[in-house]
Amino acid sequence: MSDAEVFEGDFRSGFVCLVGRPNTGKSTLTNALVGTKVAITSNRPQTTRHTIRGILHRNDFQLILVDTPGLHRPRTLLGQRLNDLVRDTYSQVDVIGLCIPADEKIGPGDRWIVEQIRAVAPRTPLVAVVTKIDKVGKDRVAGQLVAVAELVGTERTEIVPVSAVTGEQIDVLTGVLAAGLPPGPAFYPDGELTDEPEETLMAEFIREAALEGVRDELPHSLAVVIEDVAPREGRDDLIDVHAVLYVERTSQKGIVIGKGGSRLRAVGTTAREQIEKLLGTKVYLDLRVKIAKNWQRDPKQLGRLGF
């Protein structure tokens, strides 16, 4: 299909950035909109470290979702770099989706994010997305919609309540986001769901598995690096994946490994299942845990770990 044919059908395409405080449901919403898992999810803040592009195809539009880390007041160099990543992203997109959960009161963090959006991208269409409506009753949702309207104003902003878990209102949100896209040709071939390198997704799946059920301090201190991916010699049905999980302290290493290595084995089993789905083949996953002392505050170590 040529660009001319695309334009004749009033085709729209563009980039949508989901922003919000940490743990407001951005990654889960990305996966629900795309229809498959392209972003890791966790009940811990600061789970997302990379901008994961999920690609949503329809007959009349192509919507490219950019998931970002939660925007927050930074305490470390890593936090500052994550914030810079968010600002760089939403200054270049066509629509911004501001995620605010239905089960939490609006606070200073939400107001600060709105200020940041208005300062960096004052002309970009803003859609306020009230997430997690499955967690509260209708009265609570109604109250949150009123509070969000007061926060963002209704003159230039649409407000859509959704549940990424049940799928409620996902189609409505898709239509609202697509309506804000400019006319233009598709950026990616039909059927492509993400442009993230497979190694990035593999590392994110391992991080997600490692974050499940651990103490609060670990998510901020955990990084995963894929060191090698190669077919097993003499086998065409098995791929070897070698990865290193970096933490900042000896105590954190113990948390990740667990008693007798039990937690690390569980992490490997969970992550391997996700990676096998991604690659479409059996995988041998080798995980090691190393200490990179205070890496969040060290520019050289941040660069080496991909930040």
Question: What's the pLDDT at 89?
Answer: 60
CA atoms within 13 A on the CB side of 77: 11
Query: Is 71 in the same domain as 33?
Result: yes
Supply the DSSP string of 6-74, one letter for each residue: HHHTT-EEEEEEEE-STTSSHHHHHHHHHTS--S---SSSS---S-EEEEEE-SSEEEEEEE-PPP---
pLDDT at 281 over 50: yes
Could you give the percent of the chain with pLDDT greater than 90? 24
Query: Is 170 in the same domain as 25?
Result: yes
144 near 131, Cβ under 8 Å? Answer: no
Strands 238-247 and 223-231, how do they pair?
antiparallel
Query: Is 171 in the same domain as 212?
Result: no
Number of structural domains found in the chain: 2
Q: For residue 187, give every residue at least 6 positions away whose Cβ sits within 8 Å of its Cβ, in sequence order, or none.
A: 13, 62, 64
pLDDT at 163 over 70: yes
* Domain membership of residue 43 as a residue range: 12-180
Annotated binding site for GTP: 20-27, 67-71, 131-134
Q: Which of 115, 148, 180 is the last residue of a domain?
A: 180
103 phi/psi in degrees, rounded to 5: -100, 10
**pLDDT tens by residue, 93-137:** 889 999 999 999 999 889 988 888 888 778 888 999 999 999 999
Query: Is 171 in the same domain as 203?
Result: no
Query: Is 82 in the same domain as 132?
Result: yes
Query: Is 232 in the same domain as 133?
Result: no
Question: What's the pLDDT at 220?
Answer: 59
Average pLDDT of the residues in 201-220: 72
Domain-embedded: residue 99: yes
Query: Is 203 in the same domain as 158?
Result: no
Could you give the percent of the chain with pLDDT greater than 70? 73
Supply the DSSP string of 225-289, one letter for each residue: EEEEEEEPTT-SSEEEEEEEEEESSHHHHHHHH-GGGHHHHHHHHHHHHHHHHHHTSEEEEEEEE
Annotated binding site: 20-27, 67-71, 131-134
Q: Which residues pair with 224 in a beta bridge?
A: 245
User: Residue 6 — pLDDT band, cuts 50, 70, 90?
Assistant: very low
Question: What's the pLDDT at 69?
Answer: 53
Structure tokens at 293: 């002392």
pLDDT at 3 over 50: no
94 phi/psi in degrees, rounded to 5: -95, -30
The CATH number of the domain where 153 resides is what?
3.40.50.300
Domain-embedded: residue 168: yes
Query: Is 174 in the same domain as 286?
Result: no
SS3 140: helix
Q: Which of 146, 180, 214 is the last residue of a domain?
A: 180
**pLDDT tens by residue, 19-78:** 888 778 888 888 888 876 555 444 444 444 445 567 888 889 988 887 665 454 555 565
Question: What's the pLDDT at 5?
Answer: 36
Domain-embedded: residue 5: no
Question: What's the pLDDT at 31?
Answer: 82
pLDDT at 160 over 90: yes
236 phi/psi in degrees, rounded to 5: -110, 10
Average pLDDT of the residues in 268-295: 84
Average pLDDT of the residues in 271-285: 83
Query: Is 60 in the same domain as 175?
Result: yes
Question: What's the pLDDT at 305?
Answer: 60
